[in-house]
Amino acid sequence: MSHTISMVVSRESNLKFFEKTIRNYHDSVKSINGIIFIDLSLGDIVNDVDKLLKENGLGHWNIVTSEQVLEEWYKVSDCKDGVLTNYKGRLLLLMDWYLMKIMRVDKVLVVEEDVLILD
């Protein structure tokens, strides 16, 4: 994967911003690959995000959950407790690692769910 947009949508309350944002993406932006990270410790909104992506022409974007990220991390690390298990923002700590090492992304723009990207 080369050019990629990545963002974290972590809470149900973020969905309204996420929906407004992706609805207004320019068509040229919608052709880029995207990865949405969802921290399941803050609520399971995977189905909601998947539905919004499909409704807005972004069905080709990937959804990655915090559990998937942690599963890969545990394969290469002895650290199975502590901050990564208890810290609610753990996904932010490992997201870049996951993008580079697991998904092999070489160029990425990381944005929040309420950032509008124009042409």
Segment 32-61, tens digit of pLDDT: 888 888 888 778 899 999 999 999 999 999
Q: Which amino acid is at 38?
A: I
**Cα–Cα distance list, 29 to 48, 58, 64 (Å):** 21, 10, 20
Cα 95-118-6 angle, rounded to 5 deg: 10
Of 30, 53, 54, which is closest to residue 117 (Cα–Cα)? 30
Encoded tokens for 35? 């990865």
Mean pLDDT (the chain) is: 81
Q: Beta partners for 33?
A: 4
Query: The whole model's pTM is what?
Result: 0.82
If DSSP states are collapsed to H, E and C, what string results for 22-74? HHCCCHHHHCCEEEEEECHHHCCCHHHHHHHHHHCCCCCCEEEEHHHHHHHHH
| From 41-50, 63-72, 108-117, the region with the lowest mean pLDDT | 108-117
Q: Is the per-residue pLDDT at 94 higher than 80?
A: yes
